[in-house]
Amino acid sequence: MTRRPDTLKDHESPPASTAPRTALATFRRWFDAGAGPAEAVAGDPDRIDWLRVLPFIGLHLGCLGVLAVGFSWTALWVAVALYALRMFAITGFYHRYFSHKAFRTSRPVQFAFALLGAMSAQRGPLWWAAHHRHHHRHADGPKDLHSPVRRGFWMSHVGWFLTPRAFATDLAAVPDLARYPELRWLDRFDVVVPVALALALFGAGEALAAFAPGLGTDGWQLLVWGFFVSTVALFHATVTINSLAHRFGSRRFPTRDDSRNNGWLALLTFGEGWHNNHHHFPGSARQGFRWWEIDLTWYLLRLLAALGLVWDLKPVPANLRRRAADAGGASLRD
Ligand SMILES: [Zn+2]
Ligand SMILES: [Zn+2]
């Protein structure tokens, strides 16, 4: 699936003498994304770095814990609530705020939603926004890391995320965000946040088992459902916008890329499925351009605006709304 020429095969592994040092640096990067010497990422930048991504694989294996911990409605609702809360933090803040500056907010609220987004185990806000801005600059071009048109389903869905080329944060792409030391810290030690969430869920579950046994849950069950299952579902739903929303759906606007409007993906991702609208006018805080294009993130941003927590939400320009109305558009059948 990668575009690496065969002649580079000799460089797939570092020389034996540097391998332990490289492995150690990789291990340190599990905890500190900025750790280690530059040669630790030497070699083919488009290969999957299995050692580096072991925690990500572990996240998926953790879902198998459902076989051991069983089911309770309490655990399921915690998983659903954490999916919804973190999906909104990703779509409303990682995407529409940090990546596109589609509205304004205060520094405390900016940090609060950066923390909620980091709970998703999708790296820190600077990393996420830098990659996303790169995607918009090169969408479905040769430099787009997650174009399904060029790299196929698996590389665009998850493979790109597991390669050395994608690990570093390009701070030059996010100078407006990198000036906040608290966001730079979060970008470097992003793993702290999901680990803290996992520990908190375990503690909360044990407390419920002791003080509210009628809810039928405990620490291990809340850990498996609330952290592992919810986080894996959230990850795969988020990246459908890379892998599926550039392939399946309708194209209202003739953008340079292959982005699509897809109502099913919009439901799953709280409005992000109106991806052709979004590529046509990325600066809007609203991605559903018609009244029936359900965009839960937009409704929640309006609620935060009514509470005074965010402001200056950038609307869809009137001429685009008229064009969307004239053109008709995607339906749930797409
Ligand atoms: Zn896109
Ligand atoms: Zn975008």
Instruction: State the pLDDT confidence band at 8, using cuts at 50, 70 and 90.
Output: very low
Could you tell me the distance, in angstroms and rounded to a whole number, from the CA of residue 239 to the centre of ligand 2? 12
Q: Cα dist. 87→158, 179, 214, 230, 244 in Å? A: 17, 25, 29, 10, 17
- pLDDT at residue 331 above 50? no
Question: Which pLDDT band, with edges at 50, 70 and 90, does 16 fall under?
Answer: low
Q: What percent of the chain has pLDDT over 70?
A: 89
Query: Residue 2: pLDDT band by 50, 70, 90 thresholds?
Result: very low
On whether the CB atoms of residues 149 and 115 are closer than 8 A, the answer is no
Q: Tell me how far the alpha carbon of residue 197 lies from the centroid of ligand 1, in angstroms.
A: 29
Residue 67 banded pLDDT, cuts 50, 70, 90: very high
Give 53 Cα–ligand 2 centroid separation in angstroms.
25
Q: 139 C-alpha to center of ligand 1: Å?
A: 6
pLDDT in tens, 117-142: 999 999 999 999 999 999 999 999 99
Using the mean position of ligand 1's atoms as its centre, give its distance from the Cα of residue 76 in Å.
31
- Type of residue at 215: L
26-35 confidence digits (pLDDT tens): 777 777 777 6
Terminal alpha carbon distance of the chain: 27
Cα–ligand 2 centroid distance for 301 (angstroms)? 16
Ligand nearest to the CA of 240: 1
pLDDT tens readout for residues 302-313: 999 999 999 999
Digit-coded pLDDT (tens) for 247-273: 999 999 999 999 999 999 999 999 999
Which ligand has its closest atom nearest to the C-alpha of 281? 2
Ligand 2 centroid–CA 178 distance in Å is 19
- The reported pLDDT for the residue numbered 19 is 67
Q: Could you report the per-residue pLDDT of 266-290, keeping only the tens digit for each?
A: 999 999 999 999 999 999 999 999 9
- Kindly identify the ligand whose nearest atom is closest to the C-alpha of 101: 2
47 CA to centre of ligand 2 in angstroms = 26
Q: Which ligand is nearest to the CA of 275?
A: 1
- The rounded Å distance from CA 72 to ligand 2 centre is 37
Among the bound ligands, name the one nearest to the CA of residue 135: 1
pLDDT band, residue 161 (cuts 50/70/90)? confident
Ligand with smallest separation from the Cα of 102: 2
Cα of 212 from ligand 1 centre, angstroms:
45
The ligand placed nearest to the CA atom of residue 242 is: 1
* Ligand 2 centroid to residue 214 C-alpha, Å: 44
Which ligand approaches the C-alpha of residue 138 most closely?
1
Q: How far is the CA of 258 from the centre of ligand 1 (A)?
A: 8
Contact 295, 274 (CB under 8 A): yes
Ligand in nearest proximity to the CA of 131: 2
Better-predicted residue by pLDDT, 167 or 309: 309
pLDDT at 6 over 50: no
Residue 241 Cα to ligand 1 midpoint, Å, equals: 7
Cα 46 to ligand 2 centre (Å) = 23
Q: How far is the CA of 273 from the centre of ligand 2 (A)?
A: 11
Residue ranges in the chain assigned as alpha helix (H): 19-31, 54-62, 66-69, 73-88, 107-118, 125-138, 148-157, 164-167, 175-178, 181-188, 192-211, 219-222, 230-243, 263-268, 275-280, 296-306, 318-327
pLDDT, tens digit, for every residue of 168-217?
899 999 999 999 999 999 999 999 999 999 999 999 999 999 999 999 99
State how beta strands 104-105 and 310-311 pair: antiparallel
